[in-house]
């Protein structure tokens, strides 16, 4: 009988400590500031952050209070600003950047929050330039895309 009581008490304690709750915070003017899941007082799973005007500012997933996976960022007028991957709170992999008109103007490989690899620049939906970076430092730039293709292993763009 004593063993059964211990198991029940342990289960109740565990469920209270590890409980997920849906959290909402508001600006002083009453509009929603952020919403998402908390577990053990840390952001987890999907979160949305808002501007004071009610438009979405950014949205994505957390794990143990760190941004992870794919995130979207928006300007105050709701146009998309950028999107990309986080790994343990650090920008990684490919990121896409948008002009104020909503057109893609840059796609960059990022590692440890710095440009690391290729950045492809666009004008009017057309690839116009390529730049190679290492740890945020520009190594080379190509305005002629055929020479870029000749000099580089395009499998690195994946």
Which pLDDT band, with edges at 50, 70 and 90, does 148 fall under? confident
On the 0-12 / 13-18 / 19+ scale of CB atoms within 10 A, 122 is middle
Q: Report the topology of domain 20-157.
A: Outer Surface Protein A; domain 3 (3.90.930)
Q: What residue ranges do the domains of the chain occupy? A: 20-157
Question: Which 3 state secondary structure label does DSSP give 17?
Answer: helix
Q: What is the pLDDT of residues 44-75, one digit of tens each?
A: 999 999 999 999 999 999 999 999 999 999 99
At residue 13, the pLDDT reads 33
Residues 74 and 55: beta-carbon distance below 8 Å: yes
């Amino acid at each position: 009988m004593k063993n059964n009581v211990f198991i029940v008490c342990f289960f109740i304690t565990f469920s209270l400590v590890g409980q997920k709750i849906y959290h909402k915070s508001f600006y002083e003017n009453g509009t929603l500031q952020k919403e998402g899941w908390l577990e053990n007082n840390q952001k987890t799973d999907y979160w949305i952050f808002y501007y004071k005007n009610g438009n979405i500012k950014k949205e994505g997933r957390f794990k143990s209070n760190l941004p992870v996976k794919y995130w979207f960022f928006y300007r105050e007028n709701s146009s998309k600003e950028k999107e990309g991957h986080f790994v343990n709170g650090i920008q990684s992999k490919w990121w896409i950047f948008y002009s104020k008109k909503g057109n893609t103007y840059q796609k960059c490989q990022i590692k440890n929050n710095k440009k690391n690899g290729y950045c492809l620049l666009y004008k009017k939906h057309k690839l116009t330039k390529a730049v190679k970076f290492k740890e945020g430092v520009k190594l080379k730039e190509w305005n002629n895309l055929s020479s870029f293709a000749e000099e580089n292993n395009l499998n690195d763009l994946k």
